[in-house]
Amino acid sequence: MKTLKVIKIGGNIIDNEDALQTFLKEFSKIEGLKLLVHGGGKLATKLANQMQVEVKMIDGRRITDAETLDIITMVYAGKINKNIVAQLQAFNCNAIGFSGADGNAIVSNKRPVKNIDYGYVGDVKQVNTTTLELLLENDVTPVFCAITHDKNGQLLNTNADTIASELAIALSQIFKTELYYCFDKNGVLKDVNDDHSVIESITSENVQQLIDDQIISEGMLPKINNCIYAVKHNVQKVCIGKPEMLFDKKSIYTTISK
């Protein structure tokens, strides 16, 4: 069984042109099968402000009305996705850009309204791996943005961390999958003010204690929940840290495993 690396990058890389170019140059050198998932960065908010469309956030989550969906589709699936694909081609990494609608890759349900109406936000229901397997086996790297669809013609804004996790889980039936979340910290930290206090190993057994002790809290909590969900569903390991963890053997980061 071949190993597949599913790698997710966020706004801290996307918003910095030099950091993105450096990352993609190194990413293109990764040997073996790989798949890239990217978030949206600040560009959608900037464009919304320019177009005088109100940006609504609740607890750090974007409320996606029809106008906002148009903007993030243009930015995520258009400008950012195609820019990444074009740069990878320049580094001789053959890539294809994907939303969940392309190849019917990721089907989502529109999030039901409970206390908050998130608008056109999707929760992943199904990942179809047939097209992805064909591409990966032919040395083509899929590059996913954070847009899915509902199979009824509606696009949906979907959390990029979740997309990465669901892709790694679905593809674990075909490949040995490893999931890498790249962000601006060295990993999960014992002390949020000390970037060297990395917890190098977390298991599904000891994670609850870290949550109870509030070492894992706030924004890190949903990310860790995605990680634990992935390792419990056949993903070999999940790593969280700076992008250097992919390229530098001396790099320190957090590995989450069963």
pLDDT tens string 121-156? 999 999 999 999 999 999 999 999 999 999 999 999
d(CA 10, CA 181): 8
Give me the pLDDT at residue 131, please: 96
What value does the mean pLDDT take over residues 109-127? 95
Confidence check: pLDDT of 15 > 90:
yes
213, amino acid identity: D
Confidence check: pLDDT of 223 > 90:
no
Task: Give 204's pLDDT tier (boundaries 50, 70, 90).
Answer: confident
Give me the pLDDT at residue 258, please: 86
Q: What is the pLDDT of residues 55-105, one digit of tens each?
A: 888 876 789 999 999 999 999 999 999 999 999 999 999 999 999 999 999
Evaluate if pTM is beyond 0.85. yes
Pick 200 or 218 by higher pLDDT: 200
Q: Where are the beta strands (DSSP E) in the chain?
A: 3-9, 33-38, 57-58, 61-62, 95-98, 106-110, 122-127, 141-144, 147-149, 155-157, 176-182, 201-203, 237-241, 254-257
Query: Do residues 109 and 150 lie in contact, with contact meaning Cβ atoms separated by under 8 Å?
Result: yes
Give me the pLDDT at residue 218, please: 81
Task: Give 220's pLDDT tier (boundaries 50, 70, 90).
Answer: confident
